[in-house]
Amino acid sequence: MLPDMFEEALLATCGEFVICHKLEQPWPDAPMEYGYAVSGMDGLKEYMGTPEDIIAHVGAAPVLVTHLAPLSRAMFEAMPTLKMVAVSRGGPVNIDMAAARDHNVLVVNTPGRNSSAVAEFTIGAILAETRNITRGHDALRKGNYRGDLYRADVAGNELSDMTVGVIGHGTVGSKVVKLLRPFGARILVSDPYVQLDPADAEAGVQMVSFEQLLAEADIVTLHPRVTAETQNMMNAKTLRTMKPGATLVNTARGPLMDYDALFDVLREGHLRGAMLETFAIEPTPPDWPLLQLPNVTLTPHIAGASLKTVRTATKKAAEEVRRWLAGDPPLNPCWGPHGKSRKNSTSGDYR
């Protein structure tokens, strides 16, 4: 999410009506702040930058386009000329939305900007774990040519012979379903807040309960938002409800899972394996137990990282700025003078 790319999109969309002042921060080469306990930043998460630096950079500008800059109540109070914030992500978790409302600041976001990237990555994650790609790679790196991975009792199955359970049928989950269909897998979906696409239903995709999905799926892949309802949904009880020998894939969010319980069921062999793209703590501690297990594929929260993601986010943010300048209503208001607060279902993506 380089500032130059946002500037290019803003100039192309808004022309001479905008002047850009850019601030580049060290993410992703340096980790963002994930916590809730930083003094003065109550409720904010997944952000980068200090209030002093952000306030100094914004100055008297009426519009801020950002990916990770924090915006707390005290910061809104220190920037009285700020009228609009375009945050280039699926959910404005780095912004105090109540404070934005109180200061009459329009906040817009770019939902779905990385949905295709995450969906494609999920298919790769499933294949990497179920077909022993990670195990073979790790062994070869250590000079061990594992011919035993060809053994019938070790080799993974094909998607065309497995049942895949997709939890959450929002922008990412629905794309995962469409990508899975050509593989010939039996596909189960669990999401109490949406209905299946008619084309998916005609292709044999089934909407089932959460409990049925866990009991029948050979692969369970997570795609809900983090809400009070979904937080810790994969816990000691539900993990043991999963079909013995199944594989769990999480390319969504860390708070969906109890990682200690996952370690137990993987170590004991109740689950065949797991693919983890997000974690309870990021960056992961070097001594984290899950890093030591041989039946886990791990990536450092990169499922949404693609050039298309950036191009989509910059275009969406620039169009929102153009509409604000023209006095038109926003397309994706989180809250603001032109729209009410959007309540989040369990579906979708907060990446």
Q: CA-CA distance, 213 to 230, in Å (whole number)?
A: 15
What would the two tokens of residue 1 be?
């999410």
Q: CA-CA distance, 105 to 170, in Å (whole number)?
A: 28
Q: Does 301 participate in catalysis according to the annotation?
A: yes
- Which residues are bridge partners to 44 per DSSP? none
Strand order in the sheet with 206-207: 206-207, 186-190, 163-167, 219-222, 247-250, 273-276, 296-298
Extended strands (E) in the chain = 63-66, 84-87, 106-109, 163-167, 186-190, 206-207, 219-222, 247-250, 273-276, 296-298, 333-335
Closest CA to 64 of 48, 44, 88: 88
Neighbouring residues of 291: CB distance < 8 A, sequence distance ≥ 6:
284, 298
Q: Does 169 participate in catalysis according to the annotation?
A: no
The number of beta carbons lying within 10 Å of the beta carbon of residue 215 is 15
Of 253, 272, 323, 351, which is the active-site residue?
253
Closest CA to 248 of 130, 94, 111, 346: 130
Q: Is 249 helix (H, G, I), strand (E, B) or coil?
A: strand
Sign of CA pseudo-dihedral 277, 281, 286, 290? negative
Q: Does 7 participate in catalysis according to the annotation?
A: no
Chain centroid to CA 115: how far? 8
Of 301, 319, 320, 323, which is the active-site residue?
301
The number of beta carbons lying within 10 Å of the beta carbon of residue 70 is 25
Instruction: Write out the catalytic residue numbers.
Output: 253, 282, 301
